[in-house]
Amino acid sequence: MLLNDDGTPGTTIFAEMSALAARTGAINLGQGFPDEDGPAEVLEAARRAIADGINQYPPGLGMPVLREAIAAHQKRFYGLSVDPDQEVLVTAGATEALAATLLALVEPGDEVLTLEPFYDAYGGLIGLADAVHTTVTLRAPDFQPDHDELRRAVTDRTRIILINNPHNPTGTVLERETLELLVELAHQHDALLVTDEVYEHLTFEVEHIPIATLPGARDRTITISSGGKTFNTTGWKIGWLTAPREIVGAIVAVKQFLTYVNGAPFQPAIALGLGLPDSYFDHIAADLAHKRDLLAKGLRAAGFEVGSPRGSYFITADAAPLGFQDAADLCRRLPELAGVVAIPISAFCHEPAARELSSLMRFAFCKRVDVLERAAAQLAGLRSLR
């Protein structure tokens, strides 16, 4: 992905598919970003911060008001006590938190284990850190990792077990037993747990369990999140991590040379968001569950086989029942066939998983109801192609 064969810069699958949507006028259910603004009071807080002159470099760890809000959020939702002055770091989105964490904590040749399919940045960042990427494949219908495979995959060479829960692209929420097993394996092999929980507030019918809350996990866990998904502000790039003090120190040492600091006026705004009442957080999950159901129904009616994701922005659909084994090919043709853009799951895989999961594609449902209804109506035409 970093460079094409001819040496020109590669683009991410998300940029490529969003460009395809823009070029063809198709409905973009590819890149996961909401098409509606988040809470007015959060937006207003950023405007106010700019007007109030909060426009210069914030402190290296992030503004105290945001670090305190992050610590209060971890306490309020998960009962976790976090020291806002030593155990929290504000980053340029979850992406920078992941980058700084991997660059700080792995040595060249160390193994980093992820679930597969994996969010594309994981592959790129593990490569930048010169580490070895190992994976355990998630399979339909429930996309839960097999415990024996996990046991085999974690070895003394594993430096980091990097999970993403709720999971992009499958929408899976990991079972408590799986999280417990990962903690046990991390202890057995002296590995660190890095958990990307950017969809923490977007679970449906199930509770989000941060792995850091499990017995024995906290001291070896780096928990990463972001304001983008929770407040519909993906363009603000305000993320954070919480971890034990010494680990935060090591990560800060890298972060200071990546971006130094980021997003001053957005930091108090996200702080305000994190303190919104429970009703806000309940509402965003319920709203998204409704959108998931709407798109799932449309995809089923069109002839796809789909499960019911329990979290995230995404639903995975199998195009095989429609006669398409190669979802990458279908995704390239989908704008013409149905005026919709989706992303092949193979884009989140290496071989051989890419081949094994080749008929799967990811649709984002974090879009307006009328947009999803239009997409469903257009996709219905695919049935006639069979």
The residue behind tokens 């597969």 is 116
**Three-class SS of residue 317?**
strand
Give the nearer residue to ligand GLN in terms of CB position, either 84 or 228: 228
d(CA 102, CA 287): 34
93 binds ligand PMP (CB under 6 A): yes
d(CA 53, CA 49): 6
14 binds, among ligand GLN, ligand PMP, none (CB under 5 to 8 A by kind): ligand GLN
Could you tell me if 291 and 309 are in contact, meaning their C-beta atoms sit under 8 angstroms apart? no
223 binds ligand PMP (CB under 6 A): no
Q: Strands, DSSP E only, in 43-166?
A: 88-92, 111-116, 132-137, 158-164
Give the nearer residue to ligand GLN in terms of CB position, either 168 or 359: 168
Burial class, 294, CB count within 10 angstroms (exposed 0-12 / middle 13-18 / buried 19+): middle
228 binds, among ligand PMP, ligand GLN, none (CB under 5 to 8 A by kind): ligand PMP
Give the nearer residue to ligand PMP in terms of CB position, either 144 or 155: 144
For the CB of residue 90, give the shortest distance to ligand PMP in the complex, in Å: 11
Give the nearer residue to ligand GLN in terms of CB position, either 12 or 134: 12
d(CA 278, CA 267): 20
Nearest to 182 by CA among 142, 224, 217, 157: 217
d(CA 93, CA 322): 38
The residue behind tokens 């007007």 is 51
Burial class, 177, CB count within 10 angstroms (exposed 0-12 / middle 13-18 / buried 19+): exposed
196 binds ligand PMP (CB under 6 A): yes
95 binds ligand PMP (CB under 6 A): yes
For the CB of residue 181, give the shortest distance to ligand GLN in the complex, in Å: 26
226 binds ligand PMP (CB under 6 A): yes
For the CB of residue 43, give the shortest distance to ligand PMP in the complex, in Å: 17
| Contact range with ligand PMP by CB under 6 A, out of 4-12, 88-96, 102-110, 349-357 | 88-96
Q: Which of 18, 114, 165, 234 binds ligand PMP (CB under 6 A)?
A: 234
What residues pair up with 111 in beta bridges, in sequence order? 132, 158
d(CA 101, CA 250): 8
Give the nearer residue to ligand GLN in terms of CB position, either 95 or 378: 95
222 binds, among ligand PMP, ligand GLN, none (CB under 5 to 8 A by kind): none
Burial class, 49, CB count within 10 angstroms (exposed 0-12 / middle 13-18 / buried 19+): buried
Q: Which of 74, 158, 164, 316 binds ligand PMP (CB under 6 A)?
A: 164
d(CA 377, CA 58): 48
228 binds ligand PMP (CB under 6 A): yes
What residues pair up with 113 in beta bridges, in sequence order? 134, 161
For the CB of residue 216, give the shortest distance to ligand GLN in the complex, in Å: 30
d(CA 30, CA 10): 18
For the CB of residue 31, give the shortest distance to ligand GLN in the complex, in Å: 5
31 binds, among ligand GLN, ligand PMP, none (CB under 5 to 8 A by kind): ligand GLN
126 binds ligand PMP (CB under 6 A): no
Give the nearer residue to ligand PMP in terms of CB position, either 39 or 311: 311
Burial 356-383 (b: 16+ CB within 10 A, else e): ebbbbbbbbbbbeeebbebbbebbeebe
Site residues for ligand GLN per CB under 6 A:
12, 14, 31-32, 168
Give the nearer residue to ligand PMP in terms of CB position, either 74 or 95: 95
111 binds ligand PMP (CB under 6 A): no
Given the rule CB under 6 A, which residues bind ligand PMP? 32, 93-95, 119, 164, 168, 196, 198, 226, 228, 234, 237, 239
